[in-house]
Amino acid sequence: MKQFNNLTLATKMNVLVISILVVFSVVLGLVVQHLVTDGVKESAVEKAKSDLYLSYQALEERYPGQWSITDGSLYKGSVKVNDHFEMVDYIAGMTNGNVTIFQGDTRVSTNVLIDGNRAVGTQASDSVKETVLDGGNYYFGEANVAGLMNQTAYQPLQMQMAPLLVCTL
């Protein structure tokens, strides 16, 4: 402190101004980082929404018919969805994203991989189940997919027998 007292008034003012600029720069950097992160997340959610709507329309055109559950398996028209990966791969090719079709809360067709294998049989996250399956609402936002947080969009598909959801990332 004694050394600081020995500095000229101009030097002390320079130290004060530089200190204020450093603090301001750090705060500004943190604010910008937060805004950019939020913008990127929002953009990813908007893409997921768009992909979801595109996916639904593409499935309706390519695989006509109703969604149904017969003998414990999910069908779209006459096509059995369980372990039928052409559907999700077709949509993934259009959207350049991950696509999953759930029967209830369980993945029955997906291009999401865990250790190099399709994540069939894994469950939707609790927040997604609560919003989509229990509430019957769309879910847009962050969700845990195969152990990784992703920006996602889930759509409930109401059927006579059981709820279903489709997700794109």
Helix (H, G, I), strand (E, B) or coil at 166: strand
Domains of the chain: 47-168 (3.30.450.20)
**96: Cα within 13 Å, side-chain hemisphere:** 2
Which pLDDT score is estimated for 159?
A: 59
pLDDT in tens, 65-116: 888 889 999 999 999 999 999 999 999 898 888 888 998 889 999 998 999 9
Q: Which range (47-51, 56-60, 125-129) has the least confidence?
A: 47-51
Helix (H, G, I), strand (E, B) or coil at 74: strand
- Say if CB 129 and CB 143 are below 8 A apart: no
